[in-house]
Amino acid sequence: MLLARALRSAAAAALRPLPQRLPPSPLLRPAALLCDARPFTRSLWLLSGDAAGTQRPGLLRPPRASPAGVSCGCGGLHTEGDKAFAVFLTDEIKEEKKIQKHKSLPKMSGGWELEVHGTEAKLLRKIAGERITVTFNINNSIPPTFDEEPQEGQKADEQEPELTSTPNFVIEVTKDDPKQTLVLDCHYPEDEIGHGEEEESDIFSIREVSFQPTGESDWKDTNYTLSTDSLDWALYDHLMDFLADRGVDNTFADELIELSTALEHQEYIRFLEDLKSFVKCQ
């Protein structure tokens, strides 16, 4: 009896129609449906302010750090370090001008004409149809100095050595023949060694000798170059006498050092002035 009732109830439940499902409430609508109904159009700038454009501090905006310096109309940066640097350069320029020996470049004896192009100088002289040219550059012409402890009773300022410029220089001798020029590469050795005990020591030396095409600035490496390292002393002495007869001797070498030192100091002061103007953006 009970079994038959249970079977009838199960059959009736299977034949009963399902209730109609209502659409979901808007309040419970999934996120995907909300996106379809109202597209997301708020830009990132709205996240940092309200609808009226009022800024919201701290929202998607990191705090700005104060700049290390102030920029001016020149587009450069000016810091406290730059100000201290400019003050130092001002004092340095004053001190260098105080110890400057030559306000204008000294003249060479012997009728040499001077041409200066920046750090390069050229001395010209004509003798009986020959043209002698001496060219040097004052860059890197000051030998390194080694700090020595001041002697007893002597201050450190008094011990400071005087800087002198001893540049390498090239001598060109051109005769009437326009095809080739005799070129001698010279320098000031650190230790001047004479050829004999009673002979006067030369303060400059010849390093290399070659012939080069006249009028050409680019010399050919294919031309033979004679090195004086292994040269016979007799031939070397004749070369030095050849230069002395044309006005390139110890007197000339001394005056060249004085001229080069004055030019180097002049260019150094000009460099400090340019550096100061660059730092101050003037």
pLDDT tens for each residue of 224-237: 999 999 899 999 99
**pLDDT for 41:** 37
The mean of the pLDDT values for the chain is: 77
**pLDDT for 215:** 76
More confident residue, 199 or 7: 199
Q: How confident is the model at residue 145 (pLDDT cuts 50, 70, 90)?
A: confident
Q: Which of 227, 249, 224 is nearest to 132 (CA)?
A: 249
pLDDT tens for each residue of 160-211: 668 999 999 999 999 987 788 999 999 999 865 434 444 578 999 999 999 9
Question: b vs e for 4-16, b when ≥16 Cβ sit within 10 Å of the residue's Cβ?
Answer: eeeeeeeeeeeee
Write the CB contacts of 71 (distance below 8 Å, at least 6 apart in sequence). Answer: 77, 78
pLDDT at 150 over 90: no
- Per cent of the chain over pLDDT 90 is 52
Q: Model's pTM, two decimal places?
A: 0.69
Q: Classify strands 113-117 and 77-78 as parallel, antiparallel or unpaired.
A: unpaired
Q: How confident is the model at residue 99 (pLDDT cuts 50, 70, 90)?
A: very high
Determine the Cα–Cα distance for residues 277 and 32; give it in Å rounded to an integer: 65
Q: How confident is the model at residue 94 (pLDDT cuts 50, 70, 90)?
A: very high
Q: Which two tokens stand for residue 167?
A: 């540049």
pLDDT tens for each residue of 29-55: 444 333 344 343 333 333 344 444 445
**pLDDT for 155:** 60
